[in-house]
Structure formats: C-alpha cells, structure tokens
Amino acid sequence: MQFQLEVQGGAGAQARRTITIDAASEADAIRAALRQGWRVLAIAGATTASSEPASGGLLRGRAQPFPLLQFSQELLALLEAGLNLSEALATLHSKEVKAGAKATLGDIRRALSQGQSFSETLAAYPAIFPELYVSTVHAAERSGNLPEALARYVAYQLQFDAIRKKLISAAIYPVMLLAVGTLVTLFLLGYVVPKFSAVYESSGRDIPWMSQMLLGFGRSLAAHPWLCAGVLAAVVAGAVACAANAAIRAQVVLYLLRLPVLAARAAEFRLARFYRALSLLLHAGIPLSKALAMVSGMLMPAQQRQLAEVRRAVGEGLPFSTALDQHGLATPVAQSLLKVGENTGRLSDMLERSARFHDEEFARWVDWASRLLEPMLMTVIGVVIGGVVVLMYMPIFELAGSLS
C-alpha cells in the first residue's frame, strides 16, 4: 500500500512537500518518514490495488458511530512513532473519510488549539468518550504517559469485544437452527398436510383424533396463506426492530440474565468487567475511592448497592479485599488474589489477573453451553418435525394394519 504524506524538513526546514511511501500501515509509513528525517504533518491519502473509492462511497452514504477503539489504536501508533498529540490528531483528521468522525476530530483539534486539555476536550463528548476513557486520559496527562494509558484502554476494550464476539458467534448457530426448523415445520403444515387431508377425506375412513387436529390446523393455514405470511413477516419485522432498538435490546438481555441458569454467570461476567475497569483506573493513578465511584455503572442495580457499602467500608478503614468479600463482590479467586495485591502493593495487577481468570472461565462456559444447546435444539426440532410426519401417516398405518 502506498501512502502520501505531507511532510516538512530536509534542506528547506520550512518547506512543505508531499512524499509517497510504500508501507503495510499508516504507522509504518510514518515511522519510515521519521527515519528519513521528515516531520510528518498529515497523511494526504492511500492507494491500493483494490477499488477502494467505490466502497468508501457506499460507507459514506450512511451515518456511522465514532470508532473509538480504532481511534485509540491509531492515536497510540502515531504517538509511539514519535508524533506529539497535535500532530497525531492532525494526521488522523486528514485521513478520516467519515463525515461525522472527521467533524468530531476537527472540533477536538480546535479545542486543543484554544488551550483546552485533551481530557477536557474529550469530556465535552460524553456520548462518544465514556467517563472511564476521559478519566484515564486525564490521569495520563498528569503523569505524562498518554501512550501507556491508551495501550491499557485498548487492551481492556479488545478483551471485552472478544468476549462479546464469542457470545454472538455462539448464538448464531442455534438461531439458524430455530429459523430453519420453523420454516420446515410451517412448510409441512401449510403445504404437505393439506394434500394428505384431501386424500383422507376422499377415502371416507375414520381418522385418529390427533391426526384430525393436525389436518384441521393444516387446512386453516392453507385457507389463509396471505394472513399467515403477514403474521410471519410481522413477527420477523418485530424481532428485527427489537434487535435494532438499544433500549428494548437491553431490557430483553436483562430479562434473560435474570434466568436462574444465566444469573450467576452474568454476575460473574460483570464482576470481571468491574475488576478490569478498576485495574485500568488504578494503573492510571486514580485513587481507589474515586475509581470505585466511576465503575459502579458496570454492575447490576443490586451489585451497585453492594458497591456503595464497599465504598463506605473502605472509607472507614476496612481493607478493600475484605470489604468486597463481606458484601458479595469478590469471588474466591479474586479474594485470594486481591489479598496478595494489597500485601505486595500490586492491587491493580491482581485485579487484572482476576478479570483475566474469570474471562477465561466464562469463555469455557460459553463453549460448553453452545455445544450442549446445539444438540438439544436439534433434538427438539427433530421431535416436532417427526411428530408432524408421524401424525400425517398414522391413518395409513392403521389402514395397513386392518388389511393385514
């Protein structure tokens, strides 16, 4: 891939020019320019052998959210390459093609040029930059180590995204099974069963009552095909609309997580996120009491009340690990690790290890549950379809028995 960089330096220190560098990524191109003695001001563009402009036009045709993780990764790469914050933001702004993200980056650059700090500028966009992110950046500004803070946040977000993708991939196959099984059952009931019904009616023989119910239901479906298709389309459209609505989706997820089978695992998963976020804030230098207040939103309402008691107990001088254990916010593994962290002064590291342990345990449980759910669904679908087929053929079995 070829990158066009607007640079300054060389023989004429004030002269600007555009150079082309072959590199695998933008960060590699910037590093190559820096090694050649150039000061990178902006990235003018990139060209590849693929037809990128056409796809870019399609993407620009619809609004997209600000890519916070991608922004953090690219900003981290530029800062590690030797650019200062203003130069890195100018580079990201010049290469951005999405109108919304480009406007946001432009506003951030203007705010920085007016003397605002980076964290204050980010805090003006709470819908884009969460409090956890802003606080991490603010603490990094005081310590002068913004790249390390960004690296920790990127690692935190990548771990959470990995768990979320694992959940989504584990749910795809069961959903496909249910969809295909439902369509096959509807086809049997709406098309095949009415054909058998006409044959049985012309024979004039008595039909078992269960078969009569099935045949009657099939005739009703066949008599109102457009009504059935409309109901099915309405159900599908409603499911898609609910999945697209964040508020409804959150309510459905909360209801599912209250089920006895999932409640314990959901609470453990939230505790792992709580441990990791708290570790991120402590690494950034934020005091424990303030960090506990900032991460309370990651817990369920009942857990938030428990966390309030933990904050009160810590304020009264109780050790953090003991307070978590007394109020039910520490698993046995976390309790042991946090005690070690308090004794050695490495509490943030032990919080990260606790989160990593529970994330790995949760991933194993997701694999086990998906492997168990798939054969169970196949069994249920097989029983339903097999039951329909048996009820359709039951009169024929009885006729064969009477003839013998």
pLDDT (tens digit per residue) in 117-147: 888 888 888 778 888 888 888 888 777 778 8
CB 19 within 8 A of CB 38: yes
What is the three-class DSSP state of 404?
Answer: coil
In this predicted structure, which of 27-36, 182-191, 266-275, 300-309 has the lowest mean pLDDT? 27-36
Q: Region 9-15: what's the mean pLDDT?
A: 53
Q: Region 15-44: what's the mean pLDDT?
A: 68
- pLDDT for 159: 80
d(CA 139, CA 133): 10
> Which of these, 169, 207, 137, 183, lies nearest to 391 by C-alpha position?
207
pLDDT of 68-94, one tens digit each? 888 888 888 888 888 888 888 888 888
d(CA 200, CA 89): 76
d(CA 349, CA 341): 7
d(CA 288, CA 311): 9
pLDDT of 49 > 50? The answer is no
Average per-residue pLDDT for the chain: 78
pLDDT of 261 > 50? The answer is yes
CB 276 within 8 A of CB 295: no
Give the percent of the chain with pLDDT over 70: 83
pLDDT of 361 > 60? The answer is yes
d(CA 256, CA 317): 38
β-pair type (12-22, 38-47): unpaired
Helix H segments across 316-346?
A: 320-326, 332-344
- Greater confidence (373 vs 144) lies with 373
- 262, with CB counted inside 10 A (0-12, 13-18, 19+), is middle
DSSP 248-310: HHHHHHHHHHTSHHHHHHHHHHHHHHHHHHHHHHHHTT--HHHHHHHTGGGS-HHHHHHHHHH
d(CA 27, CA 10): 21
Beta-carbon contacts of residue 305 (< 8 Å; ≥ 6 apart): none
Within 13 Å of residue 24, how many CA atoms lie on the same side as its CB? Answer: 0
pLDDT of 63 > 50? The answer is no
Q: Region 2-23: what's the mean pLDDT?
A: 67
- pLDDT for 80: 85
pLDDT of 35 > 80? The answer is no
Cα–Cα distances in angstroms (integers) from residue 330 to residues 245, 299, 309, in the given order: 33, 13, 13
Whole-structure pTM value: 0.62
Cα–Cα distances in angstroms (integers) from residue 122 to residues 87, 102, 331, 373, in the given order: 17, 15, 35, 43
pLDDT bin (cut points 50, 70, 90) of residue 40 is: low
d(CA 289, CA 177): 48
Within 13 Å of residue 266, how many CA atoms lie on the same side as its CB? Answer: 17
Q: CA dihedral in degrees (354, 358, 361, 362; nearest 10)?
A: -160
d(CA 278, CA 271): 10
Neighbours of 372 (CB within 10 A): 10
CB 294 within 8 A of CB 261: no
d(CA 356, CA 337): 12
pLDDT bin (cut points 50, 70, 90) of residue 41 is: low
d(CA 38, CA 30): 9
| Sole residue written with tokens 């505790």 | 271
> Which of these, 161, 157, 153, lies nearest to 136 by C-alpha position?
153
